[in-house]
Each structure stands twice: as C-alpha cells, then as structure tokens.
C-alpha cells in the first residue's frame, strides 16, 4: 500500500510565487571614458583698417573694367587671322567726381533744402494757411495769397499756352510757351517746375516752333507730349 502525504499534494497544486527569486550576479566589462585634449597655439591676427570714398570705389571699378576689356580684346585678336586688322583697345576716360551725376544730384538736393529753409514761412502758408479774417456771411469771401512766381530768362516775351501737373509727382508741373500772334511766331519753350525749388526750372526744352499744348502721360509720368504751332507733335522723356 502507498501512503501519500496530503501536504505534498497541496504544495504541488499551489501556484508558484513570481516574486520568490534569488539574486544572481554576473560580471560585465566596464567602458572607461578617457578625455584627450590637444593644446595648439592661437592663429596670428592682425588689425586692418582703411578709409575709402565713393570716387576711390569708382576708380577701382573703372580700372577693373578697363583690364577686363583689354584682356577680352587681346584674346579676340589672338583668335583672328593675321590678315585682319588688330583690335583697337578703347580707353575709357575717368569722370571727375565733382562733375559726376551723383554730385549733381546731391547739389540739387542741397539747393532745395536751402531754398525751403530760406522761404520757410511761404512753404508753411502753402500747406497750412487758413484765412479766418473774412466774414462767411458776406456775399463774397476768400482771398488770393501770392506765394511764388515761376519765371525764366528764356520765357520772356512769350505767352503761356498750356500747363499741366504731373500725375505721380504732385509737386511738379510743366508749362509750355509760345505766341498767340499767329503772324509773328517765335520759338517755343517747355519748362518743368517744382514747388520744392521755385527759383529755377528742373528741365527746359527749346523748340523751333511755338508750343501750343502740353500734357503728361497718365501712366508714364516721365513722358511729355507737346503740340507745336506748325503741327509737329513732340514727345520728351525727362528721365
């Protein structure tokens, strides 16, 4: 006969405890981090400063342009046959800075500033003048305040035939001069004045026949169309 202990059966049927474990150690290689530094001499430095001007930059550019044109001409001359004439190198003359276009523009701006400072009261009256001295209940009220007079030596003994304002630059207007005496016609004149400098016209053009009508282009404000007494229509570009 076999006798089985009930305790052993109950132990076999019971669930294993998942947290009943034994700690086991293992040996793994450890990575040792090492730092390596290299010391070098700092690079040599130098402080450089130089003053340059606009005409120095312009002269350098013109010299580079001349050298480039000369090299291209020499290469073109080598590629051509010997029967052909050698290519002539055109020397570009340097423009004096005092007579350059940028200097003229700066002088024009300075002249405008001087005129506006000298006639400061007139310019303020042009923008902000309000005549409150007259009685609004009167039948006629208002006054005319003369500010500037636009004249030139070339426009003497000529009649003002037409005038128009520039569609983009609101301070500029063009005036045409001619003669209404049809039996005694003289030469014509076109002057473009600006309120920023009323002392002298910005542009002036002389025509053989008197100018009877003038107008700016509505979308290209630099174009001026003028109709002369002899039937000629002229277009001027003030750019």
Tell me the C-alpha distance between 187 and 178, whole Å.
Answer: 7
Predicted pLDDT at 24? 66
Tell me the C-alpha distance between 204 and 201, whole Å.
Answer: 7
Q: Is 141 part of any domain?
A: no
DSSP summary character for residue 97? G
Predicted pLDDT at 31? 78
Predicted pLDDT at 57? 86
Predicted pLDDT at 55? 82
Q: Is 176 part of any domain?
A: yes
Domain that holds residue 203: 159-237
Q: Is 13 part of any domain?
A: no
Q: Is 46 part of any domain?
A: no
β-pairing verdict for 159-165 and 233-237: unpaired
Q: How many domains does the chain have?
A: 1
Predicted pLDDT at 87? 53
Q: Is 195 part of any domain?
A: yes
- Using an 8 Å Cβ cutoff, are 171 and 193 in contact? no
pLDDT, mean of each 10-residue run, the chain (239 residues) = 55 60 69 81 83 85 90 83 56 67 83 82 74 60 74 84 88 88 83 86 87 89 89 87
End-to-end CA distance of the chain: 130
175-198 tens-digit pLDDT: 999 888 877 888 888 999 888 888
Tell me the C-alpha distance between 127 and 146, whole Å.
Answer: 13
Residue 234 phi, psi (nearest 5): -120, 150
Stated pTM of the model: 0.51
Predicted pLDDT at 115? 83
Q: Is 58 part of any domain?
A: no
130-176 tens-digit pLDDT: 666 655 565 666 667 778 888 888 888 888 888 989 888 888 899 99
Predicted pLDDT at 85? 56
- Using an 8 Å Cβ cutoff, are 223 and 164 in contact? no
The two structure tokens encoding residue 91 = 């020397």
Q: Is 43 part of any domain?
A: no
């Amino acid at each position: 006969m076999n006798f089985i202990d009930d305790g052993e059966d109950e132990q076999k049927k019971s669930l294993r405890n998942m947290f009943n474990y034994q700690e086991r150690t293992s040996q793994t290689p450890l990575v040792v981090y090492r730092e390596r530094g290299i010391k070098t001499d700092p690079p040599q430095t130098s402080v450089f400063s130089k003053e340059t001007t606009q005409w120095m930059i312009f002269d350098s550019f013109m010299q580079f342009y001349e050298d480039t044109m000369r090299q291209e001409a020499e290469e073109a001359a080598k590629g051509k046959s010997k029967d052909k004439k050698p290519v002539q190198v055109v020397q570009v003359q340097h423009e004096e800075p005092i007579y350059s276009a940028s200097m003229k523009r700066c002088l024009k701006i300075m002249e405008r500033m001087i005129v506006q400072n000298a006639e400061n009261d007139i310019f303020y009256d042009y923008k902000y003048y309000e005549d409150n001295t007259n009685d609004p209940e009167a039948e006629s009220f208002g006054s005319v305040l003369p500010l500037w007079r636009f004249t030139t030596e070339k426009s003497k003994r000529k009649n003002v035939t037409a005038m128009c304002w520039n569609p983009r630059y609101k301070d500029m207007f063009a005036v045409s001069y001619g003669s209404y005496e049809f039996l005694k016609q003289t030469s014509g004149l076109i002057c473009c004045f600006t309120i920023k400098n009323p002392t002298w016209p910005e542009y002036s053009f002389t025509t053989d026949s008197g100018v009877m009508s003038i107008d700016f282009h509505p979308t290209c404000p630099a174009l001026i169309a003028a109709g002369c007494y002899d039937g000629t229509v002229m277009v001027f570009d003030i750019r």
